[in-house]
A and B are shown apart, each in its own frame.
Chain A
Amino acid sequence: DAGVTQSPTHLIKTRGQQVTLRCSPKSGHDTVSWYQQALGQGPQFIFQYYEEEERQRGNFPDRFSGHQFPNYSSELNVNALLLGDSALYLCASSALWGGDKDTQYFGPGTRLTVL
């Protein structure tokens, strides 16, 4: 049973560019959440997707957008990259039902460096 997967592992971009990060949820999960983790900090919630819609959003600008596909996989897009966007981006998946309902399981993350 595959866990949460993310691609790519590492990414280097320059200021002003756009980036797309990808996430496949754990088998049986239908909800995907994205988090940004700056160096030495705890993760910060960006947004959550369920049934292909953004259900909740954290305190992040509109430069951060996302999408969820019918197979529950998800993308995170960041436009007009700033140096401050350099961070580890974590994807987490969860399900509304089952023994571990509402428990978020994380992928290995994508390390984004903006130069």
Chain B
Amino acid sequence: DGGITQSPKYLFRKEGQNVTLSCEQNLNHDAMYWYRQDPGQGLRLIYYSQIVNDFQKGDIAEGYSVSREKKESFPLTVTSAQKNPTAFYLCASRGGTGALTSTDTQYFGPGTRLTVL
């Protein structure tokens, strides 16, 4: 089945450690996104990529890093510089990079819940 997978579903990290969250899609989508969601809040954009080997910072990129070496993969690393990393992380992808349409919107993976111990 086509879709977006994120792993792991739950992740526990000790303070001071870097951790990488996986996001893979087999939809042949060009654009991919990472969002963070805190309890009772909406989503905030961390990083996005519209093409392989290129990515841009979103609204809350500090303490995070990404890579886009393959079209289907967009891993997110939460570094020790991120002061409050405990949150729910959602990856999304979108087929095109042009104008918005009703059929070309963002589709989300199931998310990874990160807890810092």
- Chain B associates with chain A: no
